[in-house]
Amino acid sequence: MATIPLSDWMKQAKLDDKKLHQLCIPGTHDSGTFPLPQSGVEDQISKTQKSTIFEQLNLGIRFFDIRVNADNMQINHGKTATGLLLSEVLQIFWAFFQNHPGEVVVMHVKHEWGVTKGFHTKMVDAIKAIWPDDPNDPDCPFAKHVYMKPMGLNSSYPIPTISQLRGKLVYMRRYGVDKREFITKAQQDGPESGIPVDSFALGTDYNAWSKNHGGQTWQQRFDTLSLQGWPDNGGNFDVAHIDFRNRHGISFVIQDWYSIGPAHGSSYPAQCESKIASVKIYRDSASSEFPDSWYLNFVNVTQTAYYPIEYAVGDGRCNNRLRTMFTVDAPTKQRGTFPLDYCESPSDLTDVIAVWNN
């Protein structure tokens, strides 16, 4: 189906002036769980991927959900350790860019276990161990290949185009300033703060404030608001309340409804149908509403009694239903980021998503 290899689908010149939120991006949920065995209850509940990070990259995945144990800087899913080192993941990203300089990779980072204080500093240090930094050299590896600035609505933090991001790792963080001190207040608006998606003000609040801001910066106002957190195991289908502005004013629309229906008493296909119905609501919203919003539309489902692979793979399950949504029941325009479980099944799924950018 693809006219160019999935390993290079973003290098098309016609994407140069696009921005990440304007693309249709295949992603993975809990991207680093592939080392876990498909045996034992805890491992099977935690395992969401079969393909390695390298294989995912070559399948066209450009959004990676990376969850880090701060005690040993390994990848976890909840308390379950995968044995995969963060440094190994970063090395794979580094190697990929050497051969595919036209691509952009988004790394969505969540603290998953371990000490919280200073977590952001640990993450920055880990990245700079792979891409060394020299503040006096604008051509140093860190400056050339890592994008850790926030994306904002002013000239200080503009939203970059794909041509400006080619060959870069884009850092998105799902953690912020609170009593656990993941990141300091001094860091959270700095040039290495990343794109925060940990807490939001409703778009209606943002718009009302922006018309009557009285000289305050948005970040100052943000610190005084009652905020909406990440909609964990949720999604708000009231379109008036799905526009979440982060502290730099960027809008995110997030559907992360991963537990659909009761664990017992309904069939896999019925639960998968409910999940894909949720995905479709957000997909359709992306095609008609909030054109400046970045839609993160998670496709994964799990229950404590069942395993992610049982919801993702097979006839009538989520991935096949998603494929149908893209190929049969599709508007003329598609956009949004779609994190998947078991992204290699069906074999053309990531192609079906990425081809909408052609």
Q: What is the pLDDT of residue 265?
A: 47
Q: How many residues does the chain have?
A: 358
258-284 confidence digits (pLDDT tens): 887 655 445 677 888 989 999 999 999
Residue whose tokens read 């899913």: 77
Residue 135 CB: number of other CB atoms within 10 A? Answer: 9
212 or 98, which is more confident: 98
pLDDT band at 224 (very low <50, low <70, confident <90, very high): confident
Take residue 271 and report the two structure tokens written for it. 């639960």
Radius of gyration of the chain (CA): 19
pLDDT, residue 264, reads 44
Distance CA 282, CA 120 (A): 31
Q: Among positive and negative, which fits the CA dihedral 51, 194, 110, 263?
A: negative
Instruction: Record the pTM.
Output: 0.96
Report pLDDT for 304: 65
- More confident of the two residues 312 and 153: 312
Record the tokens describing residue 155, joined without a space: 């000239």
Q: Which two tokens stand for residue 313?
A: 């793979």
Q: Show the tokens assigned to 31.
A: 């991207």
Strands 195-196 and 168-173: what pairing? parallel
Q: Mean pLDDT over all residues of the chain? A: 91
